[in-house]
Amino acid sequence: MTVYFVGAGPGDPDLITVKGRDLIARAGAILFAGSLVSETALRWAPANCRILDSKEMTLEEMSAWLVAQAQEHAVVVRLQTGDPSLYGALIELVQPLDTAGIAIQVVPGVSSAMASAAAAVESLTLPEVTQSVIFTRVEGRTPMPEGESLAELAGHHCTLCIFLSITLISRVVAALRQAGWNDTAPILVVHKASWPEQEKIVRGTVATIAALCRSEKIASQAMIIASPNLGARHWTSLAKSKLYDPCFTHRFRR
Ligand code: SAH
C-alpha cells in the first residue's frame, strides 16, 4: 500500500510521464483534481478502478479517503495538475498519510510553466539576458511571505512565471511598473497550455496585456510570463553562450 502523488502534466494527456501512466494503469483507486486535470488522463485506469473527483472535497475528506483506499489497494494515486510540488497542497496531504503510517511517493510532472514556454517557443533563460527564473504568484487569499511581493521579485528583472494570478493581472502590471519595467516590456499569457484545441497564446506588453486578456476573455488557467527573453526567436543579434564563444578560454581551450 503506497499512495503515489502523480503529476498529470499541464493538460495534454500525452504529457504525463511514462511512470505516472504506468501507475494509473495499476491503480486500485485514483483521486483526481477534477477542476484542473483533464479527465482523459484517466483513460489508462483499469476498468475496476475506484475513481473520485476531489473538486468538492475538503483536505480532511481527501486524506481520509486516501488512507481508507490505501488499506485496500496496493497502488493508490493522487493525480495532480502539472508538477505536484508547485501550489498543489502536497504537504497538507502527505502529513496525514505519514501519521497513518502509509508509504507515499511523488512522481514529478510537466509544470504548466514549462508547457507555456514550449507553446510559445520561448526560452526562460538566455545568455547575457537572464539566467534565472522565479516561480511565483501575486497575493490573493494566500498572503505572500515577507520579501516576496511581486514588486520585490520583479526588481531582479529575470524571468517570472506567475501562477494563479490571471484574475489579478492589473496587480501584476502595477508590480512590474513599480519595479521599473517599461510599458513596452513584453508579457506573455498562455491559457490552457498544451490542452488540445483550447490553448490560447496572448502576447502583449506591460501597457497592453491586461486589456488584451480581457478582450480574449481569459479568466482562468493561465500562466503569465514576464521576461526580458520574450520574443528572442526573432532577434537578429543574440549573445551566444560563452561556452561556445571562440574568444572565451576555459579549462579545455586556450
Ligand atoms: N502544479 C501546477 C500548478 C497548480 S496552480 C503546475 O505545476 O503547473 C494552478 C495554476 O497553474 C493556474 O492558476 C495557472 O496559473 C497554472 N496552470 C495550470 N495549468 C495550466 C495550463 N495548462 N496552462 C496555463 N496555466 C496553467
* 50-61 as b/e: b if 16+ CB within 10 A: eebebeeeeeee
| Length of the chain in terms of residues written | 254
Rounded-to-integer distance, Cα 200 and Cα 241, Å: 31
User: Which residue's C-alpha comes closest to atom 11 of ligand 1?
Assistant: 163
Nearest one of 186, 167, 187, 170 to 178, comparing CA atoms: 170
Please report the atom of ligand 1 found closest to the CA of residue 137: 15
* Per-residue pLDDT band at 242 (split at 50, 70, 90): low
Contact 198, 157 (CB under 8 A): no
Q: Are strands 2-7 and 200-205 parallel, antiparallel or unpaired?
A: unpaired
Taking residues 219-235, what's their average pLDDT? 96
**Is the predicted pLDDT of residue 169 greater than 80, yes or no?**
yes
Q: Is 162 in the pocket of ligand 1 (CB under 6 A)?
A: no
**Is the predicted pLDDT of residue 235 greater than 60, yes or no?**
yes
Q: Phi-psi region for residue 128, left (φ > 0), alpha (ψ -120 to 50) or beta?
A: left
* Per-residue pLDDT band at 244 (split at 50, 70, 90): low
Q: Is 189 in the pocket of ligand 1 (CB under 6 A)?
A: no
Grid coordinates representing 105 are 511517493
C-alpha of residue 149 to centroid of ligand 1, in Å: 20
Pick from 112, 114, 138, 142 the residue to mutate for probing ligand 1's pocket: most ligand atoms within 8 Å of its CB: 112
Q: What is the pTM of this model?
A: 0.93
What's the chain's average pLDDT? 93
Q: Is 112 in the pocket of ligand 1 (CB under 6 A)?
A: yes
State the pLDDT at residue 249.
60
For 21, 27, 237, the CA distances from 43, given in Å and listed in that order, are 9, 12, 46
Please tell me whether residue 81 adopts helix, strand or coil conformation.
Answer: coil
In tens, the pLDDT along 45-94 reads 999 999 999 989 999 999 999 999 999 999 999 999 999 999 999 999 99
Percent of the chain with pLDDT over 70: 92
